[in-house]
Amino acid sequence: MAADSVSLFTAIGLSEQKARETLKNEALSSLLRDAVIQTQAVLGPTIDKVTGTLLYNVASRLKDQKRLGFLVAYITSKKIITDLQLNAALDYVKSHPLDPISTSDFEKACGVGVAVTPEEIEDAVEGVVDKYKSQLLLDRYHFNMGLLMGEARSKLKWADGKIIKNEVDLQVLHLLGPKTDADLEKKQKAPKQRSETDKKADVVENGEVKLETVSLMEQLRGEALKFHKPGENYKTEGYVVTPNTMNLMKKHLEITGGQVRTRFPPEPNGILHIGHAKAINFNFGYAKANDGICFLRYDDTNPEKEEEKYFTAIKDMVEWLGYKPYAVTHASDNFDQLYEWAVELIKRGHAYACHQKVDEIKGHNPPPSPWRDRPVEESLVLFEGMKKGKFAEGEVTLRMKLVMEDGKMDPVAYRIKYTPHHRSEDKWCIYPTYDYTHCLCDSIEHITHSLCTKEFQARRSSYFWLCNALDVYCPVQWEYGRLNLHYTVVSKRKIIKLVETGAVRDWDDPRLFTLTALRRRGFPPEAINNFCARVGVTVAQTTMEPHLLEACVREVLNETAPRVMAVIEPLKVTITNLPGAGVLDVPVPNFPADESKGFHKVPFCSSIFIEQSDFREVMEKGYKRLTPDQPVGLRHAGYVIHVQQIIKDVTGKVIELEVTCKKSDASEKPKAFIHWVAKPLHCEVRLYEKLFLHKHPEDPSEVPGGFLNDLNPQSMHIIHDALVDQSVKNAKVFDKFQFERLGYFSVDPDSTQDKMVFNRTVTLKEDPGKV
């Protein structure tokens, strides 16, 4: 059989190697075999190369197999003779899945019988060359000839591209003459000037720079993603068309009015993380960009793991990111309908009650169920028994009769769980699985675009199968790549382990990358959304460096976080000659680069505090701040100070400096200005570093001992007695500031009336060589 097929395929011009490769693809080789046999019945055993190529292309690209004979007939009768016509033919049958096909409309769409004369080609090319004549004479052979080809082809859709190219070459040669040495030199490209927007949009993906310079809305609007239009689901590759598809589509459009509908369907058994931020932006963003609506639907089908706090936290995070759901729904809203459909599925012979244990059906090659072909009536009785609580957990499941794309056979639709549900309480003891629930809830809500991460691609065929098996409206599933970050874990199970072992305090520990943790650390939601936009709507999984997210955070906080002064490691400084004995009010701009945004006042007196690192007793090369021999300026105060005396404790540690001051305008300009505080508030400051030491803490080859053995002992440093100026005393939880020269900080929920707590959000982006 294989040898006969190889001979058959080489007869249409395939090499023997290509023929054998084709045989490895059963679906393709079957279609191609049928196409060749049909053609040989008309043309005889010898098939010319052009026809053979068309036959191979139609077999490899046709999605609706019932149209094979129809298209092959057009190829063998020489009515379709170019790949351009074949492309049009394939597009036409894809968008017209129902019988009968209008022959006249089809032939018109495919250019059947259209003859383009050499004179028409000559005239069209002449018109285009004349249009660009002045630029051609200026640029000569450096001109983009593809432009001439493109415009000529647009005028003569069905003309042979090779003939058009020959005519373009001929007319350009006639106009410009033969190429000179200057024409043969490679044209130098002018260096492209990059805008600030471009520079800010640099992201690194798997070690390579990738630019995404347009906003998320621009990436998602209209046809930017090549998604189907509402009501045109059947044009999507792999979509299964049934005799009732178009009728269901008509009813769907009557309900939705052609509106884009998406949904964000989290499981309420954990806190959302940075990967969910991309999903939220994609689902809500796609609907927003296309004037549609997006549902927040809780996939609450596993009562064992669901808690009310997760429902609340999920909705809070969606709204924190700036999105408002059109409606908040639950999979459990549909439990009655889902049960009725399960009964119908059994009656149609598509599902059965099975007694195999969970361990027996795990993996991709489990033994076939001996109960797969049991009588429908028997499965109906058993399923009713499952509902009434007649069986123990795991004793019976309801399974669907299908093979998924990853080879998994007969996925479970219902299982028994004697756990009260947070909404339906004790009404049910059987609960539907994701594989059964998800597509049907999408259908009920008339979702147009079911957007999910790439790992669900293996479930796409079951998604289409189940909707069609029940003869209900079938949405389209589209997949996109997950967003991950280095130096972290986002698995719910692993975060719970971190909490249980005391490695982190809770789900909102600022060292994690859950959304609640990022909010607590001080990350603005706009920065997270900007980060998702720059990563882009990629199909491939994307793993990013945390510093790229931090760069987005700095950009937002630089514009929104007012500047204040704080000292983390204080050193007391006494000014011995400050004019006047009282306390001065010094105005400090909230944003020094834009004083129109206002000022706040801080006290200034003879007793102030500076950072310990801003003084060195022994001068070192390149050090620009305070030393016994080098004065320094005080930011905003208008004074320059000079060290007079160094006071130390019994261990020799410097504990105080006595200095004199001069007005800045009466002194030589110092090499540096430092921040300071006077009559400050005492506060706690928490400084954070990466939680893990390695990029991939879950990778056994990188961390053999497991992620719990990769914890960074320096991931959090708490300073219990830092000082901050009084302007922050009325700040609320999550208010954000830039501590001048130190970084961006956010007020932590642990703050009390007696003592504020600040989390360092990110450090300042400074020159690493600055000292």
The rounded distance, in Å, linking the Cα atoms of 546 and 543 is 9
- What one-letter code names the amino acid at 65? Q
- In eight-state DSSP terms, residue 468 is H
Q: State the Cα angle at 477 between 474 and 483, rounded to 5°.
A: 160
Place of tokens 């309480």: 425
Q: State the Cα angle at 519 between 513 and 523, rounded to 5°.
A: 85
What Å distances lie between residue 44 and 41, 49, 53, 72, 460, CA to CA? 6, 14, 16, 14, 41
Three-state DSSP class for residue 460 = helix
Backbone angles phi, psi at 723, to 5 degrees: -125, 145
33 catalytic? Reply is no
Is 689 in contact with 510 (CB distance < 8 Å)? Answer: no
Place of tokens 């719990």: 708
Is 107 in contact with 70 (CB distance < 8 Å)? Answer: no
Q: Given 108, 482, 572, 616, which residue is catalytic?
A: 482
The rounded distance, in Å, linking the Cα atoms of 599 and 588 is 5
Q: State the Cα angle at 550 between 546 and 556, rounded to 5°.
A: 155
The rounded distance, in Å, linking the Cα atoms of 57 and 402 is 29
- List the 673-674 sheet strands across, edge first: 607-611, 570-575, 654-663, 639-648, 632-634, 673-674
Q: Given 63, 108, 492, 690, which residue is catalytic?
A: 492
Q: Is 10 exposed, middle or buried (0-12, 13-18, 19+ CB in 10 A)?
A: middle
Instruction: Report the length, in residues, of the chain.
Output: 771
Three-state DSSP class for residue 756 = strand
What does R_g of the chain's alpha carbons equal in angstroms?
Answer: 35
Q: State the Cα angle at 475 between 409 and 288, rounded to 5°.
A: 130
Q: Is 355 exposed, middle or buried (0-12, 13-18, 19+ CB in 10 A)?
A: middle
267 catalytic? Reply is yes
Backbone angles phi, psi at 187, to 5 degrees: -70, 130
- Inter-axis angle of helices 434-444 and 460-469, to 10 degrees? 60
What Å distances lie between residue 138 and 145, 173, 177, 567, CA to CA? 14, 14, 13, 65
702 catalytic? Reply is no
Buried b (16+ CB within 10 A) or exposed e, 185-207: eeeeeeeeeeeeeeeebebebee
- In eight-state DSSP terms, residue 508 is T
HEC sequence for 223-291: CCCCCCCCCCHHHCCCCCCCCCHHHHHHHHHHHHCCCCEEEECCCCCCCCEHHHHHHHHHHHHHHHHCC
Backbone angles phi, psi at 227, to 5 degrees: -75, 160
| Residue 581 CB contacts under 8 Å (≥ 6 apart), including other chains | none
**Bridge partner list, 430:** 416
Alpha helix ranges (H) inside 300-368 = 308-320, 335-347
Q: Is 581 exposed, middle or buried (0-12, 13-18, 19+ CB in 10 A)?
A: exposed
- Residues with a catalytic annotation lie at 267, 482, 492
